[in-house]
Amino acid sequence: MTRTLEIYTQGLHLAERIFDQVKRNENLIFAEVRDYANLLMQNTLQSPDDFLQYSIRSTPNNFLLAHSVNCVILTSLIGQDLGYESEKLEILAVATLLHDIGMVKMFDLVNSPVKFSKKEREELEKHSVHGAEIIDQLQDIDSSVRDAILQHHEDDDGMGYPSHLKEKGINELASVIHVADVYEALSHPRPYRNAMLPHAAIKETVDSKQRFNRRPLKTLLTVVSLFPLGTYVQLNTKAIGKVVKVTKTAFMRPTLQILVNHDGRPAPDGMLIELV
Ligand SMILES: [Fe+2]
């Protein structure tokens, strides 16, 4: 098992344990949450491509667990690009890991294979308030974590919930989590719908740009790029390649591993080209 997969899997197990502890009204072991959030954040910043690859994988059976971990990967990279220092990155990672903790008593509803009714949607929308209440019971936790969790569904145009806050009235970290949360959710399957392809999820997120703070939204676009890692691209020559590397300074020109040659034959192993 690679170190990346080890850390990623550790996150899925921890997320499961966090939800279990809260469900049984046990005290959340916050030191463990903070240590793991830090570990994932730091390793993501060291090897962004490796972690982004895992963050786009589909995990339909435990989507809330993977969602928490995937969002930490995204918000760590967004936070770094926004120039956050290590302490702020740590708070952001903790808040992101716990942002949907308020869903804990709604698992059956969340996993319903049919689209939510209006009443069910209203019930689900209470999860940010429930999440803040859970955090209120903890000690020695930065108040930004609570505010970020409470406000991660507030929209810049005032159409979000629970308080219809607007623009600068919204906690800064909440606005970072918000954009990562929406993009991650769209690009992964849910019990009642399929996943969107990453580029379609980007387009959908940008199409509703009035909902988001412009800075993290713009940063998300450079982080996930127009050619997300792990996706397939067909070239003008008809050759097919997989995106294996994207640099933030040249995200229009990813490196592709050619899988199928222009003549339809399998390409030799390890053939890489840079898209120009
Ligand atoms: Fe949420």
Query: Domain ranges in the chain?
Result: 3-224, 232-274
Per residue in 74-87, pLDDT (tens digit) is 999 999 999 999 99
pLDDT at position 230, please? Answer: 77
pLDDT at position 106, please? Answer: 85
- pTM for the model: 0.85
CB contact burial 171-208 (16+ within 10 A = b; e otherwise): bbbbbbbbbbbbbbbbbbebeeeebbebeebbeebeee
- Ligand 1 centroid to Cα of residue 56, in Å, is 18
pLDDT at position 27, please? Answer: 79
- Ligand 1 centroid to Cα of residue 67, in Å, is 10
- Ligand 1 centroid to Cα of residue 175, in Å, is 12
How many C-beta atoms lie closer than 10 Å to residue 83's C-beta? 7
- Ligand 1 centroid to Cα of residue 197, in Å, is 21
- Ligand 1 centroid to Cα of residue 130, in Å, is 11
- Ligand 1 centroid to Cα of residue 199, in Å, is 22
- Mind spelling out the 3-state secondary structure of the chain? CCHHHHHHHHHHHHHHHHHHHHHCCCCCCHHHHHHHHHHHHHHHHHCHHHHHHHHCCCCHHHHHHHHHHHHHHHHHHHHHHCCCCHHHHHHHHHHHHCCCHHHHHHHHHHCCCCCCCHHHHHHHCCHHHHHHHHHHCCCCCCHHHHHHHHCCCCCCCCCCCCCCCCHHHCCHHHHHHHHHHHHHHHCCCECCECCCCHHHHHHHHHHCHHHCCHHHHHHHHHHHCCCCCCCEEECCCCCEEEEEECCHHHCCCCEEEEEECCCCCECCCCCEEECC
CA angle 96, 18, 160 (to 5 degrees): 40
In this structure, which residues have their CB less than 5 angstroms from ion ligand 1?
Answer: 100
Fold for domain 3-224?
Hypothetical protein af1432 (1.10.3210)
- Ligand 1 centroid to Cα of residue 276, in Å, is 39
Query: How far, in Å, CA of 198 to CA of 246, rounded?
Result: 14
Per residue in 159-196, pLDDT (tens digit) is 999 999 999 999 999 999 999 999 999 999 888 888 88
- Ligand 1 centroid to Cα of residue 262, in Å, is 44
Average pLDDT per consecutive 10 residues, the chain (276 residues; last block may be shorter): 91 93 86 95 92 79 89 96 97 97 86 86 94 90 95 97 96 98 92 83 91 95 75 84 75 81 86 80
